[in-house]
């Protein structure tokens, strides 16, 4: 079953995991040490992130290291860009209105 990327990043724990492994690849145990939950719960979050292709696994001996999949993060960023542009335009319009109001009061 293919999971939805946006459902995956909607969870605050998964967003925190993404932030952790964005800095460096980590094992599930190292990730779990940063949370007040079980190793199994963290593994479930990692499985969901892996299924969404937001994280990738690399085997080093018996250890599995999880790291961020930059291509997928760029896809999310590209989708969000359309909204950034809308909000930037609205903020600029608001700034213009406020500047006009200030000038009228003087």
Asked if residue 29 lies in contact with residue 63, where contact means CB atoms within 8 angstroms, the answer is: no
Q: How far is CA 8 from CA 32, 49, 51, 90, in A?
A: 18, 6, 9, 29
Residue 7 predicted with pLDDT over 70: yes
Confidence bin at 103 (pLDDT 50/70/90)? confident
Residue 64 predicted with pLDDT over 90: yes
pTM value is 0.75
Domain boundaries, the chain: 1-68, 72-106
1-68 is classed CATH 3.40.50.300: no
Residue 20 predicted with pLDDT over 70: yes
């Amino acid at each position: 079953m293919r999971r939805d990327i946006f459902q995956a990043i909607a969870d605050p724990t998964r967003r925190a995991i993404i932030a952790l492994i964005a800095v460096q690849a980590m094992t599930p145990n190292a990730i779990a040490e940063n949370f007040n939950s079980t190793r199994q719960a963290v593994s479930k979050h990692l499985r969901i992130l892996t299924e969404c292709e937001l994280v990738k696994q690399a085997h080093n001996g018996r250890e599995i290291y999880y790291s961020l999949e930059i291509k997928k993060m760029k896809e999310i960023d590209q989708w969000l860009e359309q909204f950034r542009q809308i909000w930037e335009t609205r903020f600029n319009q608001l700034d213009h209105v406020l500047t006009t109001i200030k000038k009228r009061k003087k």
